[in-house]
Amino acid sequence: MTEQSSNLDRAAARTRESLETVFGPASPDTVFSAPERLNDELIITAASWERAGGFGFGGGGGTDSAGHPEGGGGGGGGGTSVGRPVAVITVGAA
């Protein structure tokens, strides 16, 4: 493995770890709040979440006309996470 590809592999791993931290796995806690008691009722809020993201890396190498090694690489990524309240669930005696 070349130094350049090793650097790209490390950068890709760090980026993947960062995105996993930001976007993490979805869970019920992401959408529903813990129930709160209000008099004789339980109140639970619900939210809608949309998450998206991605990244990419590339690199190349070779030699110039004088036989000197040349190479380069780069990468980038981005993402979004948007949430909004959508409901209030009330649970009480019938």
- Tens of pLDDT, residue by residue over 22-70, are 777 777 787 899 999 999 999 999 999 888 887 788 888 899 999 999 9
- The structural domain count of the chain equals 1
Query: φ, ψ for residue 68 (rounded to 5)?
Result: -80, 140
Task: Assign 83 a pLDDT band (cuts: 50, 70, 90).
Answer: confident
pLDDT(1) > 80: no
* Strand 69-91 relative to strand 36-38, pairing: unpaired
Neighbours of 12 (CB within 10 A): 15
Q: Which one has a higher pLDDT value, 11 or 39? A: 39
Q: How far is residue 26's CA from residue 85's CA, in Å, rounded to a whole number?
A: 16
- State the Cα angle at 45 between 41 and 46, rounded to 5°: 140
DSSP H helical segments within 1-94, as ranges? 3-23, 28-31
In this prediction, residue 39 carries a pLDDT of 92
What range does the domain containing 62 cover? 3-91
pLDDT(90) > 90: yes
Query: φ, ψ for residue 48 (rounded to 5)?
Result: -110, 130
35 close to 88: Cβ distance less than 8 angstroms: no
pTM of the model: 0.51
Q: Which one has a higher pLDDT value, 68 or 79? A: 68
